[in-house]
Chain A
Amino acid sequence: MSTTPLPPDAEAILRGDRRALGKGLTCAEAMDDEALALLDALWGSTGRARRIGITGPPGVGKSTLASGVIRAHRALGRSVGVLAVDPSSPLTGGALLGDRHRMGAEAGDPNVFLRSFGSRGSTGGLSRAAPFALDLLDAAGFDVVLVETAGVGQTEIEVATSADSVAVVLSPESGDAVQAMKAGLIEIADVLCVNKADREGAEAMAEALEGMLDRAPPAPWRPPVVRTRALEDATALFEALEAHGTWLLEGGRIEERRRRGLRGRLRTLVHALLAERLLAGRDALLDARAGEAAGKRRSLLDAARSTVEEILR
């Protein structure tokens, strides 16, 4: 890794060239060969930024809260790189990326870099690309790297594995706390945030979350439940995230967390690369086995097992 000279685009990103970073993120989004080379070259420069994830169901106020959190970091003189992920249409592949709209003032700040990604469907790059985009922002030297994702499901888990601290945002309109528990959101949270706290049902939701945490098995970190009204003030969320960051820095917890996160990402990548290699040129085999399953000559599971046997023989 250190024997080869850095490619010029990698060098420009390390120098703080914002245009090069913009282009590099496009590469990361496509996850093509160029991206792999760039990420290889910059890997050694990652790990310096404090990484924060903000997630939760659509419409709870994540972008507005993110604005507030960015503002608080800026007030302390920290530069901030932001990745905002919005869903792409599964039909057309198009996306309306509106986070710059919500983060108007912050997006214009020269010490804030904001990039929007469309999720580009489940088969596309997001699950792989978003963590790499955070690596690039990290290598580019921002003090804080913040990722905000909409939607629910696998994406949130990916956020958790590449951020040091994850805030899960809920609002009284986003359904009750049980919904959030079903969606698997609660367990990835380092901070739980009930936004729109002035609305009816907010306090009940916060109390339900506390109740759930009371009943959960004891863990070294208990996620605080904070209440915010994002349009006025995101300080409570900022402070809770800061507290988690401080806690992580004690006793090497952050190294352990990052190692675990990288292991998860490694597994996902190995999975993808293995599948890619092993299935290359195997269309005929897949067609044959699928035909057998369709004709009830084999069960689907049996067809899968025998396909694997044949590939590995």
Chain B
Amino acid sequence: MSAPSPRAPLPRSPRPIRVLVAKAGLDGHDRGAKVVAQALRDAGMEVVYTGLRQTPEMIVKAASEEDVDAIGISLLSGAHMTVFPRVLELLKEHGLSHVLLTGGGVIPEKDCEALRAAGVGMLFGPGTRTSDLIQYIQREVALRRAHSA
């Protein structure tokens, strides 16, 4: 099977950025997550949308199976200081440290800073333009892909 000649490589196309969009916690407000999911799709990304009430365990299982480049968590319940660090911890445990963890919701500035210091990416508040989010993910994923290649 290792004969050299007939192994013509199949055509290679650039891999779209894959993003997991999840709603964590118990609040049922998924409008923001859906708007973001649609904007990312329209920017040419493959968006795996998980829907409501995802636990950190479910989010990381999904990230592993779907082999995503980034995770965006929408969180309006105030549980961000538990959810983000736990997801980060599980990502490390599963060998997924290369995955960008970002998100948004109503998160106080000082909490954003603390989470960023812990290794979470940018967190986006109300009023964020989707174009900013798209550019951020594109830039970060390009860096991380180059780094791991």
Bind each other: yes
A118 contacts B16, CB within 8 Å? yes
Q: Is A98 among interface residues, defined by CB-CB distance under 8 A?
A: yes
B9 to chain A, nearest CB (A): 5
A100's contact among B48, B57, B95, by CB below 8 Å, is which?
B48
* A19-B13 CB under 8 A given contacts A94-B46, A104-B51: no
Scoring B37, B46, B51 by chain A CB atoms within 10 A of each residue's CB, the highest score goes to B46
Query: At the interface, yes or no: A212 with Cβ under 8 Å from chain B?
Result: no
Q: Choose one: A4, A97, A277; the contact of B8 (CB below 8 Å).
A: A277
Which candidate, A22-30, A217-225, A233-241, is the interface stretch facing chain B? Answer: A22-30
As a 0/1 sequence over residues 52 to 85 of chain B, the CB contacts with chain A under 8 angstroms (1 = contact) are 0001011001101111000000000000000000
B147 to chain A, nearest CB (A): 16
Tier of interface size on chain B: 35 or more
Interface contact B38-A101, CB-CB below 8 Å: no
Contact with B along A1-40 (1 / 0, CB 8 A): 1001000000000000011011101100111110010001
Chain A interface, number of residues (Cβ within 8 angstroms): 45
B126 within 8 A of A: no
In the bound complex, how far is the Cα of B58 from the Cα of A101, in angstroms? 12
**Given A101-B49, A128-B10, list of 10 further CB < 8 A pairs?**
A19-B64, A29-B15, A31-B10, A40-B1, A94-B41, A94-B43, A94-B46, A95-B46, A100-B51, A280-B8
Which A residues contact B (CB, under 8 angstroms)? 1, 4, 18-19, 21-23, 25-26, 29-33, 36, 40, 88-89, 92-98, 100-101, 104, 107-108, 110, 113-116, 118, 120, 124-125, 128, 272-273, 276-277, 280
Can you show 5 pairs from A to B with CB atoms below 8 A apart? Answer: A19-B64, A32-B10, A92-B44, A95-B47, A273-B10
Closest 3 CB pairs of A and B: A101-B51, A94-B41, A92-B44
